[in-house]
Amino acid sequence: AVVSTQSTGEYRSVLLKDLCQYYEYNEFLMSHLVELMPLGELLDMLDAQEAKRPVTIRANSLKTRRRDLAQTLISRGVNLDPIGKWSKVGLVVYNTSVPLGATPEYLAGHYMLQGASSFVPVMALNAKPGERVLDMCAAPGGKSAYIAALMKNTGMLVSNDASKERTKALSANLHRLGVHNAVVCNYDGMAFPKVMGNFDRVLLDAPCSGTGVVSKDASVKQSKDEEEILKIAEAQKRLLLAAIDSCDHTSKTGGVVVYSTCSVMVQENEWVVDYALKRRNVKLLPLGVDIGKDGFSRINKYRFDSSLSLTKRYYPHTHNMDGFFVAKFQKLSNIVKEPKEVFRSDGESEEEGVGDVMEEAGDVTEGVGDVTEEADEVTEEAAEITEEAGDVTEEAGVVTEETGVEGMECEEPEKKYPSEKKAKKGKKKKKKVTKEKTKDS
């Protein structure tokens, strides 16, 4: 029998390189995907990422019903079915003989071409008629239009996007879909609490790395690295805090914030949510949606709040939709929490989580204790030196008395500083002037 001498780590590194080569991912991205799930399930997800997701549409309840829309599209040669029991407005299209973006029903605003995963954050938000709702990153408008439909075109919906160019498509879609209660604006989401606040509900579909939609953009496999992921995560943290600050915790019907991304990376999902839990007085709520896998409360070197199991993850191999993450917050008050942990500025140490930070804090405390002990020792030595100096002074006094020289100081010549020299020169000049005046007189 042949006995292998390779370690588990060596096998893992070989497997990682083989996966990178076969699926054309860079090593950084693949090393993080391997941590998300068992190897067999990971292969299923990677294979699913290579295939395109089925086309899905959302029936616009402001203008039609899903049953009527399905019958009309079937008569035009579209093969479709309801998306599932979890959605009342979604339809999945298997094949079609007409372009879905040019049918009379599309132009009339009866439906919106929209990914199935993007239904979930709006369903979790669960906006009510008459409320004030903010969609912080709204373009191209699919989620905003869905929110308006749930609100039955009442109340006020603020659809914001940081890109002025993207607001054009946002406005066009809202007009086409018959949305009348929306205000389109163009502000940086991070500064939005200064512009407007006191919303009953806030939806933040944050800009992300797109690691959940590889089937739409294969360049993600090679273009994303650790530095870029950490930069995106920092922006997401600031946006989420701004979204929470824009929400009204005293709302009788809401006080809800929903955070979502189309990424499967822990740094952009659980890490960001855990950050918000430590800095704002909020708690996580169940989404109220029947599908999805629980988020991670601990994974590899990360340790998060236990309530993160209430968040949901969506994968292409389990739900046949794009990779997605959704979290739902309830705002309790406007209190801004002071973080208990201090994260270091370098990205590597930030990833190590709370446990590592506490260990570092312990090391620092021990170091402070050592320094304190050293300081005590130095203080004792200084006290001894002071006592010795006192003894020397007494002895010098005795010697002075014995020699009969009283009032004389036996001091070493001190170093004269420029300012002192100038002062003495000034005194000498004054004496000379007074002498010359006395002679003249």
Angle between helices 27-34 and 39-50 (to 10 degrees): 130
Q: Residue 207 CA to chain centroid, in angstroms?
A: 11
225-279 pLDDT, tens digit each: 999 999 999 999 999 999 999 999 999 999 999 999 999 999 999 999 999 999 9
Max mean pLDDT among 188-202, 357-371, 379-393 falls in 188-202
Bridge partners of 166? none
- Mean pLDDT computed over 121-136: 97
Q: Higher-confidence residue: 388 or 321?
A: 321
Buried b (16+ CB within 10 A) or exposed e, 354-368: bebbeebeeeeeeee
The reported pLDDT for the residue numbered 7 is 76
Q: Residue 17 CA to chain centroid, in angstroms?
A: 30
Q: Higher-confidence residue: 348 or 199?
A: 199
Q: Could you tell me the pTM of the whole model? A: 0.77
The yes-or-no answer on residue 262 being catalytic is yes
> In whole angstroms, what is the distance from residue 178 CA to residue 65 CA?
14
Least confident range from 215-224, 321-330, 358-367, 373-382: namely 358-367
- Mean pLDDT computed over 19-37: 94
Residue 337 pLDDT grade (very low, low, confident, very high; cuts 50, 70, 90): confident
Residue 421 pLDDT grade (very low, low, confident, very high; cuts 50, 70, 90): very low
Residue 336, sorted as left (phi over 0), alpha (psi -120 to 50) or beta, turns out to be beta
Q: Which residue has the tokens 């260990």?
A: 359
Of 283, 259, 244, 245, the residue nearest 121 (C-alpha): 259
- As a whole number of Å, the end-to-end CA separation of the chain is 125
Out of 185, 208, 262, 410, pick the active-site residue.
262
Distances, alpha carbon 170 to alpha carbons 143, 177, 234, in Å: 10, 11, 26
194-213 pLDDT, tens digit each: 999 999 999 999 999 999 99
Element at 335 (helix H, strand E): strand 324-336
The reported pLDDT for the residue numbered 422 is 47
Element at 43 (helix H, strand E): helix 39-50
Q: What is the mean pLDDT of the chain?
A: 83
Grouping H, G, I as helix, E, B as strand and the rest as coil, residue 334 is strand
- Cα angle 308, 122, 109 (rounded to 5 degrees) comes to 160
Q: Higher-confidence residue: 4 or 317?
A: 317
The reported pLDDT for the residue numbered 383 is 52
Residue 126 pLDDT grade (very low, low, confident, very high; cuts 50, 70, 90): very high
User: How buried is residue 28: exposed, middle or buried, by Cβ count under 10 Å (0-12/13-18/19+)?
Assistant: middle
Contact by Cβ (8 Å): 46, 15? no
The reported pLDDT for the residue numbered 338 is 78
Q: Residue 116 CA to chain centroid, in angstroms?
A: 24
- Radius of gyration of the chain, Cα coordinates, nearest whole angstrom: 36
Q: What share of the chain is helix, strand, coil (3-state, %, to 5)?
A: 50, 15, 35
Residue 391 reports pLDDT greater than 70: no
Q: What are phi and psi of 386, to 5 degrees?
A: -65, -40
Max mean pLDDT among 301-305, 322-326, 405-409, 415-419 falls in 322-326
> In whole angstroms, what is the distance from residue 104 CA to residue 275 CA?
47
> In whole angstroms, what is the distance from residue 147 CA to residue 201 CA?
11
